Amino acid sequence: MKIVSTLVFVFIFHFIPAAQERDTYTITGKVECDSPRNLLAELSYHVKGVMVADTAHIVNNRYYFKGRIKGPFLQAVLRLINLDDKKADYAGNMDYSTWRFLVFILEPSDITVTHAGTVGQEKNLVEGSRANDEQGILIREIQEKHRPVDEVYIEFIKDHPASWQSVDLLQQLTTQFDISETVMDSLFDGLAAKLKAAPSIALLKKLVARNELLKIGKPAPDFSQQDVNKSPVKLSNLRGKYVLIDFWASWCGPCRAENPNLVKAYQSYHNKGLEILGISLDEESSKAAWLEAIRTDKLTWKQVSDLKGTGNEAAILYNVFTIPSNFLIDPNGIIVGKNLRGEQLEQKLMEVLH
């Protein structure tokens, strides 16, 4: 199975229930294995795009966190840092090495984390958290059933209609998979009443409806953005040719790795009727980096951006939540391909521009 790298750059939903009895959490950590003597525990998570971090010293192989969160759960990271091991990071800055690293779900409950096992065979046990228990079920389903991930997600949502984990999976199905509106509506309808009342569900339904307008065979929504010389470029003005709309950014590693494939495709098929329209999700502050990336990667086709970052209006119009993403538009302005990369892109272009 081929794995394609993408960068998920937007987390747009805050799962806030209509009423929540508790909004505090505690984390009791236990280190039950041989460990460095001078350890520090660091807890971090994001709230509306802003990282929140807290630290606790580990005394007698125990540490403790207490705090308050809004919403039923957040994805959090727990690091055990070795204060006796100071190393330089990739930028040359000095930092302390991470001895243990754990991604888990933080929710309003009394959570216990036990660190066991040896180096290379770490065993981290998270208890006292329904959301983590449900995530464990989901991970085992994915690992053991060897089925497409979207099928496992759909089955989990049906089996757990009252779980906030299901709302998170609905977001992923909406933003990362091509699921029909009929299937999504049936999943929405099957949710427990408390979940249906969440503001995020109404937003997800709107995104699902928009996805229906972006399916293969549908007309590509028109837009206009400025190129590197501040001249407007309108998609509909490129009618009569096949146009590959490529969403990328200078700071996106997977995008930059895919650019050589686009250069090859452009060189092979431009004279046969292919245009590429690059749309950058860079911001005004990174404009210089965007222009430098165009030069470095030898991107000789049209490049546009409104320099609004992940708020790029064309990206919003096309429901783009991961990059690189692309849409292949035929000479009549109809979507004929989505997220074509490498060999898939080569085969599709060969098919339509032979």
Per the CB < 8 A criterion, the answer to whether 44 and 51 are in contact is: yes
Residue 107 lies in a domain: yes
* pLDDT mean across residues, the chain: 85
Per the CB < 8 A criterion, the answer to whether 53 and 44 are in contact is: yes
Whether 98 and 147 map to the same domain: the answer is: no
pLDDT at 246: 97
Residue 2 lies in a domain: no
Residue 217 lies in a domain: no
Number of domains in the chain: 3
Rounded to whole angstroms, the Cα distance separating 39 from 31 reads 10
Residue 218 lies in a domain: no
pLDDT at 162: 87
30-33-39-42 Cα dihedral, nearest 10 degrees: -50
pTM equals 0.66
- Residue 346 CB burial class (10 angstroms; 0-12, 13-18, ≥19): middle
pLDDT tens digits, one per residue of 35-79: 777 888 999 988 776 788 999 999 999 999 999 887 667 788 898
Residue 334 lies in a domain: yes
Whether 54 and 26 map to the same domain: the answer is: yes
Whether 26 and 78 map to the same domain: the answer is: yes
pLDDT tens digits, one per residue of 281-325: 999 999 999 999 999 999 999 999 999 998 999 999 999 988 999
Per the CB < 8 A criterion, the answer to whether 290 and 248 are in contact is: no
Bond prior to 324 in cis (omega within 30° of 0): yes
Q: Which residues constitute the domain of residue 139?
A: 134-212
Residue 1 lies in a domain: no
Rounded to whole angstroms, the Cα distance separating 250 from 233 reads 20
